[in-house]
Structure 1
Amino acid sequence: MKKTITAAVLSSALLLGACSESSVREDLNSVLNDTLAAEEEYLNVQSELEELEQSEQQMFESVMALTQEEMKEVNELSAEALASVEERLALLETEKESIAAAAEQFEEIDSVIAEAEDEAIISELEALKTVMEERYAAHQTFIAEYEELAVLQNELYNLLGDEETDLEQLQEQTTLVNEQNEAVLTSVEAFNQKTEEFNTLKNSIIEQLEEEE
């Protein structure tokens, strides 16, 4: 049931402080910086999510080590785990809002594409737009998978706190949680790949714009 999510981020080398006579470069700089700023809340919740996930894992392991005679402790830990899931979902909502705001900011890339004259640069900017749209789509997939994982974890923690639950039920639910956890990790990997593609392409465009000045 252990889960470690490490999400790649947009690289911070977004032409910060650049002094340029190129309007395309200046406008691209503005769009990228505004997009990164909008993603700040998304970045801020990552460490909190990770802490809650690790804490929940410890609670789960503690519960599994307890006996039927220690049902009071089982109930307490199960309740804590359920509360942790709710905390994570609240953080996830913040993350969703941050990414949605960033996606809206990035739509300004259309004006940068419109003002560009070099066909090679236009093509690269359009590719950059496509990769970023795919990145945000990958994040939506992650959100859906993560929310489904939370549902399954809730069911597991409720089973843990029910004296009528038998070992077979716990094993079946744990299997479902682990399988969904793999789906979450796969979606994170897809998001990370698109983030890395974006960073690489962005750096390539920056170099081309610098060479043209």
Structure 2
Amino acid sequence: MARPAKFTADQILDAARDVAVEHWRDTTIAHVAERVGAPVGSIYHRFPSRDALFGSLWARSIRRFHEGLLTATEIEDPRAAMAAMARHIPRFCRENPADAKAMTLYRLPDLLEKVPSGQRAELATINDGANAGLRRVAARRYDRLTDRRYRLALVGTRQCPYGLIRPLIGGDIPHEFDAICVAATEGILALGD
């Protein structure tokens, strides 16, 4: 009978997240093992490679980030929903700095090439729920949803606000960036009116 695991996958991911704040892309399995207090082999028992471990950490951070985006899509007024989506980005990164840092470890296309094949299906669809929620809000925002309007919604609510915040991740994210992100979002979305 196999003995029970001493460390959960979440404990290992928490350790990986914490050391990634210090070492970012230079974080090793040995760093993680030292932080969690486990032999390196125990980490490899759960995660077959460094990219499998940090890919799992990246995915967990993205799922946590998406929770706030999905909550914002439930706001009835589409303009308020899209402003809340933009505002969520600096707030999440400010309130969850370690998860925000973990989100910067990879770009999704690069990660898909590095992780074991068993992880690729989950990662390939990781943004589907957030994208579907945005599509629903954008359809309420515009009289007629076109590909161009959806692209504007995506750029306005996610890509632009995240682009404004990403250089600040790992440091102080001033509260004024909440309003800056919303203003940028509203300007971009107005291009579709």
TM-score, normalised to structure 2's length?
0.30
Q: Which structure shows the bigger proportion of residues in helix conformation?
A: 1
Structure 1 length-normalised TM: 0.28
Q: Which has the higher contact order (CA 8 A, sep 6+)?
A: 1
Structure with greater Cα Rg? 1
